[in-house]
């Protein structure tokens, strides 16, 4: 697919979805829309991702595209009216529009009408299927080894670690699949369930359903984790994924220098060993799931400090760790893909 | 209100909601509907609850009633077609019908029509409000001391302990309110949010919203817990309530003799000290919430064994414990209502 990604006023730092898609999706990104940065290119700001021109709006895009992706999500997940013109233009040109917003484009009267007129599709990836149910506690029965990324907070790199580990495992000849649980993962992989939007009773069940769907067809499943087990608002989602996935091994993800829960600054992060202890103890009655590796986001640090931070993180985990973007995944994958005494 | 309670083929052991309402609601129960036990009375089977005749169906009920409550919930929460005649008769007689099923009566065409014709109401208490949002992590700011019941499994007595403790606290002159989080609690109290039905991202937020709504108007809030932190299917709901409520103190509820998760028999229950440790450690980064008391359901035990089981439970908790129905709540309340070093 040839796609354009909307990221107005937020590229690259506030555009987590846009970056994820640029980095990992198989789609060809024809342009990024950011009215504050038009005239630049993606690689003026980020390396290690596919390059594309940045334009001010869909009207400036001469190439044909198959789909426009909404690549940013304001707090609350609402639709910004300043994006309407771009979505309208996309639909008028026969482009599908893919969105991970809480606001469903497929319930917007104007968009529904335009999509029908122009024979294109509105895909709200954050709308969960309506036939979900409770977990049966059987995810561990699949043939695949299940590896779950867990985090110290939101936005510490769980999705990135999941995608990079699975891709590097594949490149090394292993049969690995991703279980996408959030909107960016779903956009990248083209399937998945937005677990934070399912009925709370079905949180574990939604993850279990995805694992059962493909767990016998692969050797390794990398499950995209969400939130943090000590997050004041989102811990329920994290806990449901932990028990629903019944993982064999955990990868703890952290953002170097993060001291407090993002957006909830009165809540300090516990120590890394406390996280390891909490995740393992909480998993254990359902599934013995040791933290065997770590992924540290060091994007905010210069080179010698970044390496030191990774070493320190590995020491506090008593396990191999890396910044998956900066320092590769060899050592961590060696541990993750080694034979498992659990199996 | 004068009410009838539908509990076909399930009274009393399979009729958790019916029993809860008989025991704690202020409503006058005119009859219980159970076609297998018609001709008997409630107190032929249970003591310590209000008495009422058991009849075979709404057609056998001569007295006027204001509402028919669905007092049982099959696995899956579906509507049994064998109940349709009773609901129909109730609506034809102008009775409201109150249901905690996953199946919403207010989406059943025949019932909607009958309710409109007869000027009565279909109340689906398991339908959450649609304006919920994420937790802000501020439940602890209310004036009230917040006490949360947590459990070793589903159906171990969290709702019963919550109701009994709050009522006994009130009887002793304390200003205590209940925060209902499940269908039975909501039916008894006449308000609340069915937390297991909200969008998973809003689990903590739903509880926080209820606490903020009334937490400055009372001295004690007793929050009805749900599920268990190690339940393979429902732990996400439990974890969201734990962090959303930001409780000052926890009461651990357990069913004497329960060895494995109900319906998930391959998952053994961890030891009681393991539960205490898990709940306290998991709460701590958000709120210091010690387990200060226990509630043991000893309904399956004869008298000397029941007392021994409570003593043993108290010893394993290192805190006072009771069977709230059988042995009263004096000692446990003394601990719960004592001055709190946290505040």
A42 touches chain B (CB under 8 A): no
B286 touches chain A (CB under 8 A): yes
Of B76, B135, B238, the CB nearest to A232: B135
- Beta strand spans in A226-323 (E): 249-255, 260-261, 264-268, 291-297, 321-322
CA-nearest of B342, B301, B234 to A200 is B234
pLDDT-above-70 percentage for chain A: 99
Residues of A in contact with B100 (CB under 8 A): none
pLDDT of residue A343: 56
Contact partners, residue B59, CB within 8 Å, separation at least 6: B85, B89
At B252, list the tokens. 């651990």
pLDDT digits (tens, 9 = 90+) for B136-156: 999 999 999 999 999 999 999
For A161-173, write each residue's pLDDT tens digit.
999 999 999 999 9
With a pLDDT cut of 90, the percent of chain A lying above it is 92
Give the separation between CA A177 and CA A237, rounded to whole angstroms. 21
Tell me the chain A residues in contact with residue B134 when contact means C-beta distances shorter than 8 Å: 233-234
Measured between CA atoms, how close is A313 to chain B, in angstroms?
Answer: 20
pLDDT at B340: 66
Whether the pLDDT of residue B342 is over 70: the answer is no
d(CA B153, CA B229): 8
Instruction: Quote the CATH superfamily of domain A2-124.
Output: NAD(P)-binding Rossmann-like Domain (3.40.50.720)
Q: Using CA atoms, how far apart are residues A186 and B201, in angstroms rounded to an integer?
A: 17
Count other C-beta atoms under 10 Å from residue B213's C-beta. 14
Predicted confidence band of residue A295 (pLDDT cuts 50, 70, 90) = very high
Three-state DSSP state, A190: coil
Among the partner-chain residues B197, B201, B204, the one whose CB lies closest to the CB of A201 is B197
Q: Look over chain A and give the mean of its residue pLDDT values, rounded to a whole number.
A: 95
For an interface test with A, give the residue of B154, B194, B209, B233 to mutate (most A CBs within 10 A): B233
- What is the C-alpha to C-alpha distance for residues B276 and B242, in angstroms, rounded to an integer? 13
Interface pTM (ipTM) of the complex? Answer: 0.93
Q: What is the CATH code of the structural domain delimited by A139-336?
A: 3.40.50.300
Would you say residue A61 has pLDDT above 70?
A: yes
**pLDDT of B169-221, one tens digit each?**
999 999 999 999 999 999 999 999 999 999 999 999 999 999 999 999 999 99
For residue B338, what pLDDT is reported? 87
Same fold across A2-124 and A139-336: yes
B125: nearest Cα among B65, B77, B55, B178 = B77
B71 close to B7: Cβ distance less than 8 angstroms: yes
Q: How much is the average pLDDT of A282-298?
A: 98
Nearest-CA residue of chain B relative to A277?
B281
Query: What is the percent of chain B with per-residue pLDDT over 90, rounded to a whole number?
Result: 92
Q: In this structure, how many other beta carbons lie within 10 angstroms of the beta carbon of residue B92?
A: 13
When pLDDT is cut at 50, 70 and 90, the band that residue B279 belongs to is very high
Q: Which pLDDT does position B29 carry in this prediction? A: 96
Question: Can you read off the two tokens belonging to residue A134?
Answer: 């409770």
Question: What are the sequence ranges of the domains in chain A?
Answer: 2-124, 139-336
User: Which pLDDT value is given to residue A342?
Assistant: 53
Check CB contact of B232 with chain A, cutoff 8 Å: yes
Q: How confident is the model at residue A233 (pLDDT cuts 50, 70, 90)?
A: very high
Q: Does residue B92 register a pLDDT over 80?
A: yes
What beta strand segments (E) does A48-144 contain? 54-55, 67-70, 96-99, 122-124
pLDDT bin (cut points 50, 70, 90) of residue B341 is low
pLDDT in tens, B224-254: 999 999 999 999 999 999 999 999 999 999 9
SS3 B324: coil
Measured between CB atoms, which of A134, A197, A235 is closest to B239? A235
Structural contact between residues B101 and B79, judged by C-beta atoms closer than 8 angstroms:
yes
Asked if A272 reaches chain B (Cβ–Cβ under 8 Å), the answer is no
Distance from CA of A56 to the nearest CA of B (A): 33
pLDDT for position B48: 86
Size of interface A-B (CB pairs under 8 A): 161
- pLDDT (mean) for B301-311: 96
The predicted pLDDT at position A77 comes to 80
* A185, two tokens: 């993962």
H or E, element range at B272 = helix B272-283
**Tokens for A253?**
């993800």
User: Has residue A74 got a pLDDT over 90?
Assistant: no
Helix axis angle for B109-118 and B84-92, nearest 10°, is 20
Q: Say what the pLDDT of residue B63 is.
A: 83
Q: How confident is the model at residue A73 (pLDDT cuts 50, 70, 90)?
A: confident
pLDDT at residue A63 in the model = 83
Identify whether the C-beta of residue A206 lies closer than 8 Å to the C-beta of residue A136: no
**Across all residues in chain B, what is the average pLDDT?**
95
């Amino acid at each position: 697919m040839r796609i354009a990604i909307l990221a107005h006023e937020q590229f690259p730092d506030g555009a987590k979805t846009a970056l994820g898609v640029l980095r990992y999706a198989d789609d060809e990104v024809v342009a990024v829309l950011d009215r504050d940065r038009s005239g630049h290119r993606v690689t003026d700001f980020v390396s290690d991702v596919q390059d594309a021109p940045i334009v001010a709006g869909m009207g400036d895009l001469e190439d044909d595209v198959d789909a426009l992706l909404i690549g940013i999500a304001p707090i609350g997940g609402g639709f910004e009216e300043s994006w309407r013109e771009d979505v309208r233009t996309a639909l008028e040109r026969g482009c599908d529009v893919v969105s991970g917003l809480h606001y469903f484009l497929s319930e917007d009267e104007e968009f529904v009408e335009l999509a029908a007129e122009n024979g294109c599709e509105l895909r709200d990836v954050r709308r969960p299927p309506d036939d979900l149910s409770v977990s049966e506690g059987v995810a561990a029965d699949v043939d695949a080894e299940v590896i779950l990324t867990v985090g110290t907070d939101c936005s510490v790199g769980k999705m990135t670690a999941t995608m990079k580990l699975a891709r590097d495992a594949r490149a090394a000849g292993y049969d690995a699949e991703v279980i996408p649980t959030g909107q960016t993962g779903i956009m990248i992989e083209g399937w998945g369930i937005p677990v934070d939007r399912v009925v709370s009773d079905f949180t574990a069940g939604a993850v279990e359903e995805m694992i059962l769907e493909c767990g016998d067809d692969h050797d390794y499943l990398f499950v995209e984790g969400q939130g943090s087990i000590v997050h004041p608002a989102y811990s329920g989602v994290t806990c449901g994924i932990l028990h629903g996935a019944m993982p064999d091994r955990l990868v703890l993800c952290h953002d170097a220098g993060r001291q407090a829960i993002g957006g909830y600054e009165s809540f300090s992060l516990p120590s890394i060993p406390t996280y390891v202890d909490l995740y393992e103890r909480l998993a254990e009655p359902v599934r013995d799931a040791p933290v065997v590796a770590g992924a540290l986001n060091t994007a905010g640090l210069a080179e010698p400090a970044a390496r030191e931070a990774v070493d320190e993180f590995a020491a506090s985990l008593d396990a191999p760790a890396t910044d998956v973007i900066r320092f590769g995944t060899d050592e961590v994958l060696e541990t993750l893909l080694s034979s498992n005494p659990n199996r």
